[in-house]
Each structure stands twice: as structure tokens, then as C-alpha cells.
Amino acid sequence: MKYLFLLLFIVLPYTKSSAQSVSDFEIEFKEIAQQHFPDKKVDSLYKKYNHILFWFNPNSQLAASMKNMETANYPLSNFKQSNVYKENIDALLADTLNRKYSFGCFLACAANDTSKTDKITALLKRSDYKDFWLATILTYLHSKDFEPIIKCIIRYKDNDGTSYLIDDFLRMDKQRLNKFGLDSISSKDRVIQCLAIRTLAKTENSAQKEKVLKETVITTDTAMKGWAIAVLAHLHAKEMLPVVKPYLANKDLHQICLKAIASSTSFIDIQYLDSLIRNPKSDDALLHALLSSENDISLRKWFVLVKNEKLPDNYYIDLFGNSLFYDDRYFDQICEIIMKTPNEKQLYQLMDYFKNKKDERSINFLNKCLNHPVASVKEKAKYFLNKN
């Protein structure tokens, strides 16, 4: 962990350093190579070329963009063909000093030098899997050996920064992630089991995948059930009511159980949703499940509830994360609701349907909204028209 904070300390000063190009880096690298990579010179490269050596780090990308610097994936890909790179990379990776072998690892990652994954893996093992950055680098070099990365995730399981490493791990080869998920979902280690469940969301559904996930819902504790149900919802698994019905009354699982049902197109699940929406007032959890579903059947049920004003007075329409909502097929329903719904808070959110629409009928409707009796609708319409 100490080493993680050391490198974060090196990253942060970049915002005060002069931005440099790849060609500048290559020149300075050659110069310090001739001096056998003195510590201060290596630190200087970290600071001046943070956007190159830490190209995969969002903070580095943000700092570079604030300086109008162009960033790229694997920015030193061409540099690895140079003699100065070939003559020094192995020596850097073999050095016993953290500063130097770590620099070699970042260099190999920026160069997309996948031939060095075995050496970087050996360094990670030598650290007893406590080097967060080396594990991250292995994900970007598409290492075929998941085990060292997973061991590092386990080492840092109680650290907030682990989520970044997990995100990087989940971006690795999808088919291999799928195999890991199926092989490891019954692991006794909670970290591994949770990772396994999450990896199964990265590829399309299959009978085998759906079966093991449903078994996991039945056999695990509440937290793990939640992850498995969330993945089943993401995969639009069918016949979810029999699986989640025992947990609908669980306050921690109620919302995700409803979303799994709303994501299904099975008759039994649709029938259950219909029984719920016949209530005089729909609860927030049901409304959220219908709206967040990428299932046309469920989304249309949400529109019916909104048009019939079966909403709690304080209901907040959350449009985040569902791209289906913005589909043109819902244009007429959105327009009808905006013209008839009295709740100003809900209307204000619904107007976001038009935020990126520039077609003629959308423009015509926004012009019509300039005379809407609700001030916030007029405000949004004017704003979107001015953007166009």
C-alpha cells in the first residue's frame, strides 16, 4: 500500500508540470538511459510525462485535457521498435530498485509490449501480490494469467481503490472472463465468487450461465444474491418470478428483484407486473424497475402508469442509464404526457427526452412547448432550441 501512495504522489504534481509530447519523452529517455537512469531523472519523467506513462489513469487523462494535451491508448507503441527501448527495457524490469523496475513496467504498458507480461507477473508475485499498479498494468497488457491479478484484488479487498482494479479486470478478454465466471462462481472465497458473478455479465446469456446464476441466488447470502439477481436482470433472464419471489419482501433485495422481473419477457413475469400496476398507486421501486428496464414491454407499462397519474406525488423520474427511453418509438407518448401531466417536477425530467434530438418533429414540439403553462417546460424547451 505504501508503494501505491508513492506513485499517487508522483501522479499528482503533473498538473503543475509542463506538458510534453511523445517525441520529447523519447529524447529524454535516451538521455537518462545513457546516465543509467538516476533516481531524480526517473522521477522527472513520471512528472513531465504522466499522461504517457499513466495513459490509462482517468486522473492523468483529465489533467492532460485541462492542458489541451492529446492523449492516446498505448502512446509508446511505436517507441518499442526503437533500439533505445529494446536495449533498456529488460534491464529496467530486472533492476532490484522499485523506482526503476516500476518505471520499466509503466514503460512496457505504454508501449503495449505484451512480451513483458511474464516478467511483470513475476514482479507482482515477488511483491506478494501487493503492487496495485503492476496488477493494473497486467490488465492493460491483456495477461492470460488471471490469478496474480485476482490475488492482488483479494489483498486490497478492504481498500476503496480496489474498485478501479476490478473495473480494469472486468474489461479483459470477455470469453476468458466468462470461463473464469463459470469455473469460479461456487468459490468459497467471497471476493472470487463476487468477481465470478460480475464477469458473467460481460457476455451474452446462455442456458448454462442462467442456471448457475439462479442456483447462486438460492444458495448464497443476501449480498451475493443481490449481485446474482442484478446480473440476471442485465442478461434479461426469463421466468424470474419463481427465483426471486422468496426475496421480494427483503428490503435489501426488493428493488433488484423487481428489476429482474421487469427485464424478463416471460408470461409469468409480465403477468406479475400487471398485478402490481393495478394498484391505485404504484410504489417507487416498481416505477424505477419499469423505467430502468431495457425491455420495451416494461417501459410501455411505465408510460401507462405515468399517463394515468398512478404516481406518488414526490416521485422523481430518474432517466439515468436507460438508453432505450430515448428511442423514437416513444415520441408520441412522451409528447402526450408532457402536454397532459400536471406535476412540474416530473415534467422537468421528462423534457430531457429532447436534449439531443434535432429532427423536425422534435423542433416543432419544442416550439409548441414555448407556450406550455408550466414554466420549467418552457425553460427546457427554450434551452434545447437554443442548443440547436
Give the separation between CA 134 and CA 136, rounded to whole angstroms. 5
Please choose, from the candidates 142, 125, 146, 124, the residue with its C-alpha nearest in 3D space to the C-alpha of residue 133: 124
Closest residue by Cα to residue 209 from 236, 189, 245? 236
What pLDDT is stored for residue 5 in this prediction? 38
3-state secondary structure (DSSP) of residue 355: coil
List pLDDT tens digits, range 86-110: 999 999 999 999 999 999 999 999 9
State the pTM of this model. Answer: 0.86
The Cα–Cα gap between 37 and 41 comes to 7
CA gap 157, 75 in Å, rounded: 31
Give the angle 318-324-328 at the CA atoms, nearest 5°. 110
How many CB atoms are closer than 10 A to CB 254? Answer: 17
Task: Give me the pLDDT at residue 15, please.
Answer: 41
DSSP output for 86-110: HHHHHHHHH-SSHHHHHHHHHHHHH
The DSSP symbol for 18 reads P
The pLDDT assigned to 163 comes to 92
pLDDT of residue 64: 81
Instruction: Give the model confidence (pLDDT) of 9-25 as tens digits.
Output: 444 444 444 447 899 99
pLDDT < 50 stretches in the chain: 1-19
According to DSSP, residue 188 is labeled S
DSSP structural state of residue 15: G
Residues in the chain: 388
